[in-house]
Structure 1
Amino acid sequence: MAARRRPIWEGVTRSLRRSLQWRVVAASMALSTLALVGVFGYMSLSVGQNLFETRRDEALVEAVRASGEMQQIFDEAVTATLTSGEVDALQDRALDAVTGLIASRTSTEYAMLRTDRQGETLLQMNDVQSQAFDTDLLSTELRTAVADASDTAPYYQSVRLEQGGGSEPAIMVGTTVDVPLAGRYELYLQTSLQSTQATLGFMQLTMVLGGLALIALIGLITWFVARMVVGPVQQAADSAARIAAGELDVRIPVRGDDEVATLGRSFNDMADSIEVQINELATLSTVQQRFVSDVSHELRTPLTTIKLAGDVLHDRREAFDPVAGRTVELLHTQIERFERLLADLLELSRFDAGAAQLEIEPTNLVRLAEGEIAALEPLAAEHGSELRLVAPGGHFEAEVDPRRIRRILQNLLGNAIDHGEGRPIVVTVDSSSDAAAIAVRDHGVGMTEEQASRVFDRFWRADPSRQRRTGGTGLGLSISRDDAALHGGWIDVWSRPGEGTAFRLTLPRAGARAVVSPIDLPPAEEPPSEAPPAQAADDTASAPIALVDPATRTTTEEVER
C-alpha cells in the first residue's frame, strides 16, 4: 500500500512544483478550507450553545411552573383531607395529582424524593419516580444544592442517557415542594435533548456539505481565473523556449489592452530586437569565420614558399657569418611557429563553424600516452624533468578520435614541461565502466585561482615573458577544450602557486549517465617505479618513463606481455 501511495504523492508534488496554476488552486482551496473550518466551527459552537441554552431555559421554566402547581395541589389536598377527616387518603390523592401533572408535561420522566435530614412528620409519603428515571444520574452536588435552597429556585445538571446501546444528551432540573404534614420533597424533571442534538447534527451536516461544495466551487473559479493569468505566461514561456531553440520568428498573439496584452506586446518587441541582433551577430560571425578561413588558406601558399626558402637557408646556415646564421635560425623558428598558428586558426574556424568531425576508433589510452611521452622525452630531458606514467588498471580502451586525443596530450605535456621547473611530471591514465580519463600533473610554478579561470581563453598566457619551447600560439588549451567537448567530455584544472598544476581530461563512454571522473583532481601521488625505465627503440639513453600499476607494481613491459 505504501509503495502505491508514494508514486501518487510524488506525482502530486511534481505537478504542484511544475505548475503555477495548480499551486494557486491548491493554495486557494487550502486557505478557503481553513477559513471555512474556522467560520463553520464558530457557527456550530454558537448555534449549539444557543440551542442548549434555549432548551435549558424551557426546562427551568417548566420545572418552576410544575413545582408551583404541585405545591398548590398539595395544599388543597391536605385541607380537604383534614376537613373530611380522611388523613389516610392524603398520599393517594397527592400521588394521583403528581402523576397527572407530570404526565401532562413534555418531560415524561420524573422523580419526587424526600429530602434527607428531616424529623418525624405526621404524614409519611414514599418516594415517587417514573420507570425510566435513573436516580444514579443525580449528582451529590445537585441534590445538596436543591435541598439547601431557601426557595423554589431550580438547579440543573447535564447528563447522558444510555438508550438502546447508545447515549443521548439530557438535562436534570431540580426544585423543592413542601408537602403539609409530610415535609420537604425534591422534585426532579428529566428533559431529553435528543431532538436538539438532532437539529444541531443536521445543521452541522448541512454546513459540511455546503462547505465542501463551496470549496469545490472556489477551486473551480480559482482554476479559471489562474488560467486567464497563467495561460499567457505559459504561452510566453513556450515562445521563449522556441526562440532559444532557434525559432526566431515565434511571436505571442496579442488581444486587448490589459496588462497581459502589454506583456505580450513587450515580449514581441523584445523578440524582434533579439532576432535583428542575432541575425546581425550571425552574419558578422559568418563573415569573421570566412575571413579567418580565407586568410589562413591564402597565407598557406606564400608561407609554403617562404618555408621552402627558409629551409634552404637553414640548411646552409653554417656557411654564413654568425649574425646571419643566428638570423636564419630565428627565421626558421618563427616560420614553424607561424605554420602552427595557421593550423590552429584553421582548426578554430572549423570549431566555430560547427564543421569539426570525429574519426572514432577503439584506442588504448595507455599506449597512446606512452607514445606521446616518448615523443616529448628529449624536450623533457633538456628541462631536467622526469616523465612518469601511472596506470592503475581497468577499462583502458575507449572509442575516441586518437588524433585529437594526441593533440590534447601534446598541449598538456608541453605546458607541463615549460612550467614544471625541472621537477617530475606524472601522467595518470585510468578508466571505469562510465568514463576514461588522462591527467597531467606537474610540480612547477602553478597558477593563482584567477589565472586558472582564464587558462582556456584564446591567446591568453599566465606568464607571457616565460620562454617557451613547445610552440606558444596561445591557442593550444582552447583547442584542447573544444576537442574534449567534441567527444562529449571536458577538461578540469587544478593549480596552486608553488605547488604545480594538474589538468584532467575526462571522456564519458557511450550511454553513460551521471559520469564521475575515475581520476581525482589533483591525482593521487604515486611513488616512482622500481623497475628499470623503458628504453627507446634504438636503445639510446633517454629520460625515464615508467608505467606503474599500484596494485601489482608491474611495469610497462610486463603489461605488454
Structure 2
Amino acid sequence: MSGPPPSRAGESAAGFWRGWRGWPSRLAHVWRSSLQFRTVVITVALSALAVVVTGTYMSISIGNDLFQSRLNQVLVESKNAATAAQTIFDSADASGEASTISLLSSAKSAIIASSSSRLIAVYATPGATSTSTTVLSFASPELAAEGVITPELRAEVAADPGSSQQYWQSVSLATESGGSAPGIVVGSPLTIPGAGSFELYIGYNLAEAEQTLVFVQQTLWLGGLALVILIGLVAWLVVRLVVQPIRMAAETSERLAAGQLEVRIPEKGEDVIATLARSFNGMADSMQSQITQLAELSQVQQRFVSDVSHELRTPLTTIRLAGDVLYDQRDTFPAATGRTAELLHTQTERFELLLADLLEISRFDAGSAQLDTEPTNLVRLAEDALEQIRSLADAAGSDLRLVAPGGYFEADVDGRRIRRILRNLLGNAIEHGEGRPIVVSVDSDERSVALSVRDYGIGMSETDAERVFDRFWRADPSRKRTIGGTGLGLAISLEDAALHGGALEVWSRPGAGSCFRLTLPRERGGSIGGSPLPLEPDDAFGPAPAVAELRPPSAAPTGGGGGDRG
C-alpha cells in the first residue's frame, strides 16, 4: 500500500504550522474577551509562584537540616573513633615495627566499630622523624582517590598535632557502580608511641541522606503541582459561579440595547447576584415603561404634525388663490395696499414650503420615507442645480463654479432627494457667502461618490457647526434671512443622506467660510468607506493654487461668530 501523496502531507504540515503561529493571537483574544479565563490564569500563576517559593525554601531548609544533623552525628562518631584509637596506642607498649603494625590493626578495628564506617586513612604527618612512618600509612581506595583528601585539609590537621581538634570537609566519593555520591571526610591528629605523629581520616557516605532529600523534594513538588491544579479547578468553579450571572446580565443588556425590551434576568436565591438581577429587572421595567411612553408620545406628535399639515393645506390653498388674485392686481391698489399684497404673497409661499418640510420631516420620523433610485450622473445633476439657483446667486453677488476632475460619477440614488440636498446647501451658501464665490466639487472612487459645497463667508465656530443640522436652529437669531427658508432644510438634507446610507458633514471656521460634504455609496445598500473629497478644504488656512482667485482681498478672515444656518 502506498502512503498519502507528498503534496497533501506538505499541505497538512503547512496548515499545522499556520495554525500554530495563530495560537498567540487566539490566546490574546481569549485573554482580552474572557474574564473567567483571565481570572483563572492569574490565580494559577500566583499560586504556582507561591508554591515554588515555599517549596524552594522548604527544600533548602530540609536539605540543610539533614546535612547538619548528619554532620553532627559524623563528628561525634569520628571523635569517639579517634579517642578509642588513641587509647589503644597509649595503653600498649610497642617496641618494634611488627608490634606497631599489629597495634595499628587493632586500632583500625576499634575505629570501624566506633564510627560505623570502613573508609579510613592514616597518614604520617609530614616531617616525622621515624623511618617506619611510610610503612604504617594506609588508606581505603575511596579516600586514596585524587582530590578526596585535599592538601588544605591535611595542612589543617597537621598544624595541630597531639590535640583533640577535628577538621572536616564535604567531598564526592566514588561508588562501586562507577558513579559518585556526596560524603564528608573528618580528620583528627594521632600520636603513635615510638612512631611519631599521624593523621586519621574517616570518610562517611551521605548517599542515604541524599536519597531522603530527593524523596522529600519530589513529594514537595508533586504535592505543589497537585495543589496548583486543585486551586485552578476551584478558581474555575468559583469564577464560573460569579461570571455566569455577569455574562447573562451582559447578554441581556445587549438584547435590551437592540430593542428587545421584554427580556429579563432570571432571579434565583437571595444572594447579592439575585439582588443585582432584581435591581436590573426593575431598571429594565422602568426603561421599558418610559420608552413605551416616549414612543407613544412621539407617535402622537408625528400624527399631530402630519394631521395639522394636511388640514392646513385646504385653507392655505384658498388663501393662496386669494393672495394670487390680490398680487396680480397690486398695481391698481394704493401703495400701502400693494405692499401688503406682496407681503401676503411672499409669506404664503414660505408657509407652503414650511408645510411641505413639516410633512417630509414627519415621514422621516415615522420611518415611512422611501427611496426611488436610478443611475444618476451627479455632475449633470449639480449643473442643473446650479442653473436653477444662479439667479439668486447673481442677486447676492456670488459667482457659482463647478469643479469636476473626472471619474465615475454615476451612482444609484434618488435624484429628487439629491437635488433637494443641493438646493438646500447652495441656498445656505448664498445666504452666508457674503457675496463671495461658491465652489461645488464632485469626485468619486470605485465605492462612493462625493459632492461638496464651499463658500468663503463668515463661517461658524466649532460649537455652532455641531448644531447646524438641528431643526429650526439658528446661530444668530437676529440675522435676517435674505432668501427665506423654513429652518428645516439642513435637517431634511441630513435625513436624505442617511436614507441613502451616506453621510452629510460640515467643516467651518469663523472668517474662513464653510464646506458641506455629501458622500454617497455608488450602489444602493453599499457602504461608503472613505470619501473621495476632503472635508477640510485645501485653502482652509490660505488660498490653494487651484482656487486662489476665489478669495478676493476683502475675503480675509475678520473673526467673529457664525451666522444663522439651517
TM range (shorter): 0.7 to 0.9
**1:226-283 CA-partner distances (Å, limit 9, x unpaired):** 2222222222222222222222222222222222222222122212211211111111
Q: Quick one: structure 1 residues 59 and 353, their matched pair in 2 at CA, closer, same or farther if it must change by over 3 Å?
A: same
Within the candidate set 466, 471, 474, 1:458 is matched to 471
- How far apart in 2 are the matches of 1:326 and 1:493? 39
- How far apart in 2 are the matches of 1:106 and 1:5? 60
Q: How does 1:65-464 map to 2 (within 5 A)?
A: 65-76=80-91, 79=93, 81-82=94-95, 86-91=96-101, 93-95=103-105, 97-98=107-108, 101-102=111-112, 105-116=115-126, 118-121=127-130, 123-126=132-135, 127-133=137-143, 134-149=145-160, 151-161=163-173, 168-464=181-477
Q: Quick one: structure 1 residues 413 and 136, their matched pair in 2 at CA, closer, same or farther if it must change by over 3 Å?
A: same
Q: Quick one: structure 1 residues 355 and 165, their matched pair in 2 at CA, closer, same or farther if it must change by over 3 Å?
A: farther
User: 1:545 matched to which residue of 2?
Assistant: none
- Conserved 8 A contact 1:428-1:523: no
Which range moves more in the overlay, 151-160 or 379-388?
A: 151-160
Q: Which amino acid aligns with 1:152?
A: S
Q: Quick one: structure 1 residues 96 and 516, their matched pair in 2 at CA, closer, same or farther if it must change by over 3 Å?
A: farther
User: 1:516 matched to which residue of 2?
Assistant: 530
Q: Which runs of 5+ in 1 are unaligned?
A: 531-561
Within the candidate set 504, 507, 520, 1:494 is matched to 507
- How far apart in 1 are the matches of 2:438 and 2:20? 57
Q: CA deviation at 1:528?
A: 4.9
- How far apart in 2 are the matches of 1:438 and 1:360? 18
Within the candidate set 35, 41, 64, 1:49 is matched to 64
- How far apart in 1 are the matches of 2:241 and 2:205? 55
User: Is the aligned partner of 1:9 residue 2:24?
Assistant: yes
Q: Which runs of 5+ in 2 are unaligned?
A: 1-15, 549-566
- Conserved 8 A contact 2:434-2:458: yes
Paired residue secondary structure (2:142): coil
Q: Which amino acid aligns with 2:413?
A: V
Paired residue secondary structure (1:136): coil
CA RMSD of aligned residues (A): 2.7
Q: Quick one: structure 1 residues 260 and 92, their matched pair in 2 at CA, closer, same or farther if it must change by over 3 Å?
A: same
User: 1:32 matched to which residue of 2?
Assistant: 47
- How far apart in 2 are the matches of 1:106 and 1:391? 108
**1:108-151 CA-partner distances (Å, limit 9, x unpaired):** 433322222x2412532343222233242334433322222362
- How far apart in 2 are the matches of 1:508 and 1:64? 100
- Conserved 8 A contact 1:439-1:503: yes
- How far apart in 1 are the matches of 2:520 and 2:371? 14
Paired residue secondary structure (2:23): helix
Q: CA deviation at 1:322?
A: 2.6
Which range moves more in the overlay, 10-19 or 512-521?
A: 512-521
**1:404-444 CA-partner distances (Å, limit 9, x unpaired):** 22222221111111111111222222222343222222111
Paired residue secondary structure (1:137): coil
- How far apart in 2 are the matches of 1:113 and 1:29? 59
Q: Which amino acid aligns with 2:171?
A: V
Give the TM-score of the pair, scaled to structure 2. 0.85
Q: Which amino acid aligns with 1:114?
A: A
Q: CA deviation at 1:454?
A: 1.1
- Conserved 8 A contact 1:427-1:441: yes
User: 1:59 matched to which residue of 2?
Assistant: 74
Paired residue secondary structure (2:147): helix
User: 2:558 matched to which residue of 1?
Assistant: none
- How far apart in 2 are the matches of 1:338 and 1:165? 113
Q: CA deviation at 1:500?
A: 0.9
Q: Quick one: structure 1 residues 427 and 180, their matched pair in 2 at CA, closer, same or farther if it must change by over 3 Å?
A: farther
**Residue identity (%):** 54
- How far apart in 1 are the matches of 2:484 and 2:414? 23
Q: Which amino acid aligns with 1:33?
A: A
Q: Quick one: structure 1 residues 454 and 74, their matched pair in 2 at CA, closer, same or farther if it must change by over 3 Å?
A: same
Q: Which amino acid aligns with 1:111?
A: A
Paired residue secondary structure (1:25): helix
- How far apart in 1 are the matches of 2:534 and 2:88? 108
Q: CA deviation at 1:26?
A: 2.0
- Conserved 8 A contact 2:411-2:521: no
Q: Which amino acid aligns with 2:169?
A: Q
**1:182-207 CA-partner distances (Å, limit 9, x unpaired):** 22222223323332222222222222
